[in-house]
């Protein structure tokens, strides 16, 4: 069984209203030795499907036999989370571009440093949960340092980047935490989002994480085999160049889209004119992120992510 559950609060600065800025974590200690697994969510404040999934995961495992230690960081960026905003409102910085952080920097830079020192440097496995913000919906898993663990989540589409992204969690470094550590398994999950019911995505995330925990030996049970999976090494983010209603025209996430097919049209809410039609960029592509409903967008908002099947594994 879980031997001990501890609520951890680590202060890293003081806010102008006099309150403490803290990392709030929940630690579950097992009765047997095993890996230390960290699970985080809401690095971006408008991606809360992962935070919901961590709540449900906690309820599912807190009374189960556990080997090792699990550290849950359900809300990595509380100031952005509270106002449903992607970036930290205090300094408008993207937390996921500030690692390893700076203890003498702005709020977000101090937060990144605190996460690096108090969370990332103390775990063997890192599972980081993201979603498609509050407009588009996304569905894929990154392959970083542990392909088997990435596959164990069970998503159809996996993405193998050809290079890291500076300042992100998965490229963040200190003396002891780096993507190059051979003994640290890192998985980034992108699932959910959009102005739709998040329940199916939360349930999938919980089921996927439970399978990952079984794969790691942290909880008992048979590891479910992954479905047929596609690994893409090239993806493109597509953004509209006009604001207005985005009307989706594309297939579902995980489905093929061929050259010449339209992803969407942008329509003026005021005079009903079509302002823009956006085609898929690849002759042979696969849907990774899209809008599931007619949404109001500005020029430059997230629109779609398309994977290139021409170079897929």
pLDDT in tens, 214-272: 999 999 999 999 999 999 999 999 999 999 999 999 999 999 999 999 999 999 999 99
Looking at the chain, the whole-number percentage of residues with pLDDT higher than 90 is: 91
Helix axes 199-216, 49-61, angle to 10 degrees: 50
> pLDDT digit string (tens) for 124-150?
999 999 999 889 999 999 999 999 999
**Residue 54 contacts residue 41 (beta carbons within 8 Å):** yes
**Residue 125 contacts residue 216 (beta carbons within 8 Å):** yes
Amino acid 175: pLDDT: 30
At 305 the three-state DSSP class reads strand
First to last CA, the chain: 40
Name the phi and psi angles at 20, rounded to 5: -85, 140
Indicate if 223 and 240 belong to the same structural domain. no
Q: Where are the beta strands (DSSP E) in the chain?
A: 2-14, 20-30, 32-41, 67-73, 125-130, 137-142, 157-159, 185-192, 230-232, 235-238, 244-248, 256-258, 262-267, 274-279, 284-290, 295-297, 304-308
Amino acid 118: pLDDT: 97
Can you tell me the distance from the alpha carbon of 152 to that of 161, in angstroms, rounded to the nearest whole number? 18
- Please say if the pLDDT value at position 301 is more than 70: yes
**Residue 112 contacts residue 100 (beta carbons within 8 Å):** yes
- Please say if the pLDDT value at position 181 is more than 50: no
CATH of the domain at 120: 3.40.630.10
- Number of structural domains (the chain) is 2
Indicate if 258 and 112 belong to the same structural domain. no
Last residue of a domain, one of 230, 245, 263: 230
Indicate if 38 and 159 belong to the same structural domain. yes
- Going by pLDDT thresholds of 50, 70 and 90, the confidence category of residue 170 is low
Domain coverage including residue 288: 234-311
Amino acid 224: pLDDT: 97
Q: What is the mean pLDDT of the chain?
A: 93
Q: Name residue 159's beta-bridge partners.
A: 142, 232
Indicate if 155 and 243 belong to the same structural domain. no
What tokens does 40 get? 């985080």
Indicate if 102 and 173 belong to the same structural domain. yes
Last residue of a domain, one of 175, 205, 230: 230
- Please say if the pLDDT value at position 206 is more than 80: yes
Can you tell me the distance from the alpha carbon of 62 to that of 7, in angstroms, rounded to the nearest whole number? 13
Indicate if 161 and 287 belong to the same structural domain. no
Indicate if 221 and 241 belong to the same structural domain. no
- Please say if the pLDDT value at position 1 is more than 80: no
- Please say if the pLDDT value at position 176 is more than 60: no
Last residue of a domain, one of 204, 230, 256: 230
Amino acid 178: pLDDT: 42
Indicate if 186 and 246 belong to the same structural domain. no
**Residue 253 contacts residue 287 (beta carbons within 8 Å):** yes
Report the alpha-carbon angle 79-83-84, nearest 5.
105
CATH of the domain at 278: 2.40.50.100
Report the alpha-carbon angle 55-200-247, nearest 5.
125
Indicate if 110 and 188 belong to the same structural domain. yes
Amino acid 163: pLDDT: 66
Q: Where are the beta strands (DSSP E) in 171-283?
A: 185-192, 230-232, 235-238, 244-248, 256-258, 262-267, 274-279
Indicate if 202 and 54 belong to the same structural domain. yes
- Going by pLDDT thresholds of 50, 70 and 90, the confidence category of residue 309 is very high
Can you tell me the distance from the alpha carbon of 69 to that of 123, in angstroms, rounded to the nearest whole number? 9
- Going by pLDDT thresholds of 50, 70 and 90, the confidence category of residue 167 is low
Amino acid 184: pLDDT: 85
> pLDDT digit string (tens) for 118-127?
999 999 999 9
- Going by pLDDT thresholds of 50, 70 and 90, the confidence category of residue 180 is very low
Indicate if 189 and 98 belong to the same structural domain. yes
- Going by pLDDT thresholds of 50, 70 and 90, the confidence category of residue 195 is very high
Indicate if 240 and 162 belong to the same structural domain. no
């Amino acid at each position: 069984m879980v031997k001990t559950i501890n609520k951890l609060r680590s202060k890293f600065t003081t806010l102008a209203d006099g309150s403490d800025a803290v990392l709030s974590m929940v630690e579950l200690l097992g009765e047997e030795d095993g890996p230390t697994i960290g699970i985080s969510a809401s690095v971006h404040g408008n991606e809360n499907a992962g935070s919901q999934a961590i709540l449900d995961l906690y309820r599912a495992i807190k009374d189960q036999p556990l080997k090792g230690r699990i550290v849950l960081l359900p809300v990595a960026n509380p100031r952005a989370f509270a106002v449903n905003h992607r970036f930290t409102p205090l300094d408008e910085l993207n937390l996921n571009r500030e690692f390893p952080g700076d203890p003498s920097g702005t709020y977000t830079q101090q937060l990144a440093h605190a996460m690096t020192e108090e969370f990332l440097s103390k775990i063997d496995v890192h599972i980081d949960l993201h979603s498609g913000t509050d407009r588009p919906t996304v569905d894929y898993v990154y392959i970083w340092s542990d392909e088997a663990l990435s596959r164990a989540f069970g998503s159809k589409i996996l993405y193998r980047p050809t290079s890291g992204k500076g300042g992100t969690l998965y490229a963040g470094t200190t003396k002891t935490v780096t993507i190059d550590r051979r003994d640290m398994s890192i998985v980034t999950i992108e699932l959910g989002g959009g102005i739709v019911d998040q329940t199916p995505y939360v349930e999938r995330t919980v089921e996927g994480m439970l399978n990952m925990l079984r794969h790691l030996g942290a909880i008992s049970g048979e590891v479910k085999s992954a479905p047929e999976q596609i690994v893409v090494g090239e993806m493109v983010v597509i953004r509209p160049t006009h604001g207005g209603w985005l009307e989706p025209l594309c297939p579902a996430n995980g489905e093929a889209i061929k050259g010449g097919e339209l992803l969407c049209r942008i329509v003026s809410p005021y005079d009903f004119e079509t302002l823009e039609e956006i085609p898929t960029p690849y002759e042979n592509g696969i849907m990774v992120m899209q809008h599931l409903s007619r949404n109001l967008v500005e020029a430059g908002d997230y629109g779609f992510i398309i994977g290139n099947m021409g170079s897929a594994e």
